[in-house]
Structure 1
């Protein structure tokens, strides 16, 4: 007899939906990471940071804490991510002129070019990953919520 996959039934609907959302996010993030890395040399987190900067209403710069909340990432993880983006010339950091403790991240022209080019890949992979997730009965309702919200 072929082995069967165990069925996991969490104690409440809320827990089951939360677990399904975590599974959906993991699958989509993995697909985005692979495609963005292969085609543009950036991770999904790097894309998210660049997109937040590029599409902010503050001229392409954000205080690091605002950027961390927007992605979302822990402050220490954001510092490493911003350092990588800065080393590759996609962002630059500067101190707030009125509060020297405040650190801002600014997207560069090159960063804007990368995020614009990567956006096509990002949206295509996002759409494809969500369509694939519709085949899973636990994930399909979540996908439908995103598509029709």
Structure 2
């Protein structure tokens, strides 16, 4: 009977990345739960509203929005559809190029974002503080915070 080969040891880059992913998953879970519970929006919706609120004229091309929040084109189309149904954003055609589609934040979307961003900041800080007490990822939290 032969012994199966053991897995090669993780490289230091892989080990660091694994800790980053664990931290990311923990923080994202806390943020998503708080935003949904307190403001009725998901994390992707919050991030889209944040990018739109910061954009010049409160609008971004759909592809640029997709790139900024890390979604594919079809996913961002569905996301903006949900924001539109909630009255937080709408799609608009570029007057110069009818193929260009923009997502545009509404006043109500800007208000929802402004209400939710304090929750986001507080929960983010709390989640990082909590993660900083876990010996497995405390160094990662410390490294991220000290790099700012």
Under a length normalisation based on structure 1, what TM-score does the superposition of the two structures give?
0.89
Shift of 1:116: 0.2
Q: Secondary structure at the match of 2:46?
A: helix
Gaps of 5+ in 2: 1-7
Alpha-carbon distance in 2 for matches of 1:10, 1:43: 38
**Aligned partner (choices 100, 115, 118) of residue 117 of structure 1:** 115
Instruction: Output aligned runs, 1:76-115, within 5 Å.
Output: 76-115=74-113
Q: Which has the larger radius of gyration?
A: 2
Structure number with higher helix proportion: 2
Shift of 1:137: 2.5
Shift of 1:100: 1.0
Structure 1 stretches (4+) deviating beyond 3 angstroms? none
Distance 1:86 1:10, change over 3 A: farther
Contact 1:20–1:138 under 8 Å retained in 2: yes
Alpha-carbon distance in 2 for matches of 1:104, 1:86: 12
Shift of 1:10: 5.2
- The size of the alignment, in residue pairs, is 140
* CA RMSD between the two structures: 1.3
Q: State which drifts further: 37-46 or 135-144.
A: 135-144
Distance 1:10 1:67, change over 3 A: farther
